Copies of this chain bind each other. A is one copy, B any other.
Amino acid sequence: MILTALAEESAHGYGIMRDVEKLSNQRVKLRTSTLYAALDRLSANDLIEIDREEVASGRLRRYYQLTERGRTELAAAAVGQRAQAETALRRLGVTDLGWSPS
């Protein structure tokens, strides 16, 4: 979800938090401790990298962006997850296969 939040344009931690909430229809709320730790791990694994740092009104803002590897892995994961979700719905016999991506 963090990678998805960064798929369109670079964002900083707090912005990612808000986007992930929106993406999940408020069902997933990242704690700051989870988020910043995840950001560090994703950086260490070369899936994201620092785009730039800004200081706006005394507050630091560190913008992250997807790396090429992050882009590739997100695409692969998304294709897999979509297929898995379809399988689940088909197996459950859910007939309404409509959706509204945000």
Q: Which residues of A contact B (CB under 8 A)?
A: 1, 3-4, 7-8, 23-25, 27, 71, 74-75, 77-92, 94, 99-102
Contacts and interface: CB of A to CB of B under 8 A. Distances in A.
Contacts of A102: 83, 87
Dominant SS among interface residues on chain A: helix
Given A83-B99, A83-B100, A84-B24, A4 B78 contact: no
How many copies make up the complex?
Answer: 2
B7 A92 contact: yes
Contacts of A82: 81-82, 85-86, 89, 99
Contacts of A1: 84
A81 B83 contact: no
